[in-house]
């Protein structure tokens, strides 16, 4: 055990250096200390404010509406895919990790035709390849891409892919779950019909609400597409815009927390400000871990400042479970890897984490290596 006090959040909990749920601010947690009914005027006003502000994150005011979906992020992804891809449609799914694969599974279960263009987890899709696939298959109506594939932390080329998809007159659907609010996505420049994200990643709310920002004209055209009652985005939007009410119990505490989280997001400078803090977190992490001898999976050019995948060192005394537990004792929760290309672990840069937290994490890793007798390389 280290002699210094373990790191902790404002509530004494360990810091979550994970892909989510994440460490939130104290004020976000405090926003939940209420018992409001779903018809309470304060809740309705808060919900309306949340839905009105979300399109601003992608500079999509006027053209896009936010349709919330109760549940974790995957519920919003499933709602987006099954509402937007019609029964006689066909999706091209770009896969380089678990979230791309999950989209394929959703389409299979919903009985939607799809084809996959898969690259390995450390390789982004090639726009030229997509161009050829769309040219060769006129039946493809939609393309699905993950903005930051959290499996590895890779940044996929959404802008270049969107240009190809638009040129072919097809529609783009984006899973921006782990990137939304940290990586710019400008709806005035990038052509897409819908983007899905959630309350608990870079917006720094608590888990429990997903949402889809939908181009209004495209959402109108989804009427009758849904294969489930609960995940019907068209119906959800109709109910909310006509009565201000959710069709089914809303997670009011989650929405109240998201309202507060969005105030903090804008106060930090929106996507630009938050993205800057995360980029600084990632820089401190990668440089510090590099000095200790750890190597990242991805080259800097492909690395999003969201979550960093490190190769598990080959040192005989390095045992991941011991490393994980020792860091947990020092107040830091990291995440195992789930790659097929290499043995790895992941460290997140997102959530209410600041430069000092990342520096403290690197110091804790150094202590842990010494304790394990697994010093990888003397510091440069
Ligand atoms: C977190 C995440 C999701 C949603 O995961 P849930 O566990 O359902 O919240 C989807 N796509 C990506 C890229 C993610 O990072």
Q: Does 185 share its domain with 286?
A: no
Overall number of domains in the chain:
2
Residue 380 lies in a domain: no
- Tens digit of pLDDT for each residue in 130-187? 999 999 999 999 999 999 999 999 999 999 999 999 999 999 999 999 999 999 999 9
Q: Does 77 share its domain with 205?
A: yes
Residue 230 lies in a domain: yes
Q: Does 336 share its domain with 208?
A: no
- The CB of 144 under 6 Å from ligand 1? The reply is no
Residue 73 lies in a domain: yes
Binding-site residue numbers are: 346
- The CB of 285 under 6 Å from ligand 1? The reply is no
Q: Does 218 share its domain with 279?
A: no
- The CB of 288 under 6 Å from ligand 1? The reply is no
Q: Shortest CA distance to 171 belongs to which of 217, 123, 118, 122? A: 217
Say what the pLDDT of residue 4 is: 61
Q: What is the mean pLDDT of residues 105-118?
A: 98
Q: Does 119 share its domain with 68?
A: yes
- pLDDT over 60 (residue 271): yes
Domain boundary among 232, 267, 302: 267
Residue 3 lies in a domain: no
Q: Does 225 share its domain with 286?
A: no
Q: Does 96 share its domain with 222?
A: yes
Domain boundary among 225, 247, 267: 267
Which residue reads 């060769």 in tokens? Answer: 136
Cα(99) to centroid of ligand 1, in Å?
A: 7
Cα(4) to centroid of ligand 1, in Å?
A: 34
- pLDDT over 90 (residue 127): yes
Q: Does 237 share its domain with 320?
A: no
Coil, strand or helix at 193: coil
- Tens digit of pLDDT for each residue in 169-179? 999 999 999 99
**Sheet (strand 335-336) strand order:** 307-311, 344-348, 335-336
- The CB of 146 under 6 Å from ligand 1? The reply is yes
- The CB of 260 under 6 Å from ligand 1? The reply is no
- The CB of 156 under 6 Å from ligand 1? The reply is no
Q: Does 20 share its domain with 155?
A: no
**Rounded-to-integer distance, Cα 162 and Cα 169, Å:** 10
Instruction: Characterise 293 by phi-psi region: left (phi > 0), alpha (psi -120 to 50), beta (else).
Output: left
Which residue's CA is minimally distant from atom 6 of ligand 1? 73
- Tens digit of pLDDT for each residue in 325-358? 999 999 999 998 888 788 999 999 999 999 999 9
Say what the pLDDT of residue 149 is: 98
- pLDDT over 90 (residue 289): yes
Residue 5: which pLDDT band, with cuts at 50, 70 and 90? confident
Domain boundary among 229, 249, 267: 267
Ligand 1 atom closest to Cα of 149? Answer: 13
- The CB of 107 under 6 Å from ligand 1? The reply is no
Residue 9 lies in a domain: no
Q: Please check whether residue 92 is in contact with residue 100, taking contact to mean a CB–CB distance below 8 angstroms.
A: no
6 is written with which tokens?
Answer: 């373990």
Q: Shortest CA distance to 121 belongs to which of 162, 150, 159? A: 150
Q: What is the mean pLDDT of residues 36-63?
A: 96
- The CB of 352 under 6 Å from ligand 1? The reply is no
**Rounded-to-integer distance, Cα 280 and Cα 349, Å:** 9
- pLDDT over 60 (residue 1): no
Say what the pLDDT of residue 374 is: 87
Mean pLDDT of the chain: 95
Cα(307) to centroid of ligand 1, in Å?
A: 13
- Tens digit of pLDDT for each residue in 231-247? 999 999 999 999 999 99
- The CB of 199 under 6 Å from ligand 1? The reply is no
Q: Does 314 share its domain with 227?
A: no
Binding-site residue numbers for substrate are: 346
**Rounded-to-integer distance, Cα 290 and Cα 316, Å:** 19
Residue 225 to residues 88, 134, 197, 231, 374, Cα–Cα distance (Å): 10, 23, 21, 11, 56
Residue 145 lies in a domain: yes
Say what the pLDDT of residue 2 is: 46
Q: Shortest CA distance to 349 belongs to which of 99, 12, 16? A: 16
Cα(375) to centroid of ligand 1, in Å?
A: 34
Cα(2) to centroid of ligand 1, in Å?
A: 34
Which residue reads 């809303």 in tokens? Answer: 250
- The CB of 198 under 6 Å from ligand 1? The reply is yes
Domain that residue 319 falls in: 15-24+270-372
Q: Please check whether residue 158 is in contact with residue 184, taking contact to mean a CB–CB distance below 8 angstroms.
A: no
Residue 349 lies in a domain: yes
- The CB of 74 under 6 Å from ligand 1? The reply is yes
Say what the pLDDT of residue 377 is: 64
Residue 64 lies in a domain: yes
Which residue's CA is minimally distant from atom 9 of ligand 1? 73
- Tens digit of pLDDT for each residue in 77-110? 999 999 999 999 999 999 999 999 999 999 999 9
Q: Does 293 share its domain with 152?
A: no
Partner residues linked to 113 by β-bridges: 90
Q: Does 334 share its domain with 367?
A: yes
Considering just the CA atoms, what is the radius of gyration of the chain in Å? 21
- pLDDT over 90 (residue 10): no
Cα(102) to centroid of ligand 1, in Å?
A: 10
**Rounded-to-integer distance, Cα 216 and Cα 112, Å:** 23
Cα(211) to centroid of ligand 1, in Å?
A: 12
State the CATH number of the domain containing residue 166: 3.40.640.10
State the CATH number of the domain containing residue 368: 3.90.1150.10
Which residue's CA is minimally distant from atom 2 of ligand 1? 177
């Amino acid at each position: 055990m280290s002699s210094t006090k373990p790191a902790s959040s404002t509530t004494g909990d360990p810091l979550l250096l994970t892909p989510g749920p994440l460490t939130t601010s104290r004020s976000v947690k405090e926003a939940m200390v209420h018992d409001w009914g779903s018809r309470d005027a304060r809740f309705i006003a808060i919900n309306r404010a949340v839905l009105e502000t979300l399109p601003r994150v992608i500079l999509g005011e006027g053209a896009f509406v936010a349709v919330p979906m109760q549940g974790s992020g995957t519920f919003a992804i499933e709602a987006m895919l099954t509402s937007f891809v019609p029964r006689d449609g066909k999706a091209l799914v770009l896969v380089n990790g678990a979230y791309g694969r999950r989209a394929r599974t959703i389409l299979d279960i919903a009985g939607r035709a799809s084809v996959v263009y898969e690259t390995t987890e450390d390789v982004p899709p090639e726009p030229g390849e997509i161009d050829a696939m769309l040219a060769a298959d006129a039946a493809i109506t939609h393309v699905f891409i993950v903005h930051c594939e959290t499996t590895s932390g890779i940044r996929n080329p959404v802008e270049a892919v969107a240009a190809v998809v638009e040129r072919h007159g097809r529609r783009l659907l984006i899973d921006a779950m782990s990137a939304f609010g940290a990586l710019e996505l400008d709806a005035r420049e990038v052509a897409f019909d819908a983007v899905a994200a959630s309350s608990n990643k870079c917006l720094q709310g608590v888990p429990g609400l997903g949402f889809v920002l939908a181009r209004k004209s495209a959402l109108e055209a989804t009427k009758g597409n849904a294969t489930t009652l609960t995940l019907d985005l068209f119906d959800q939007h109709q109910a909310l815009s006509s009565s201000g009410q959710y069709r089914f119990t809303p997670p009011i505490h989650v929405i109240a927390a998201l309202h507060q989280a969005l105030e903090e997001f804008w106060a930090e400078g929106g996507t630009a400000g938050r993205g800057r803090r995360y980029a600084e977190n990632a820089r401190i992490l990668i440089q510090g871990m590099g000095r200790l001898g750890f190597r990242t999976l991805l080259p800097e050019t492909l690395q999003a400042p969201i979550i960093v995948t490190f190769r598990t060192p080959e040192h005989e005394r390095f045992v991941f479970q011991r490393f994980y537990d020792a860091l947990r004792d020092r107040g830091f929760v990291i995440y195992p890897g789930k790659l097929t290309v290499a043995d790895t672990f992941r460290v997140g840069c997102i959530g209410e984490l600041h430069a000092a937290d990342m520096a403290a994490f690197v110091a804790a890793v150094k202590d842990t290596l010494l304790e394990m007798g697994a010093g990888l390389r003397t510091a440069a």
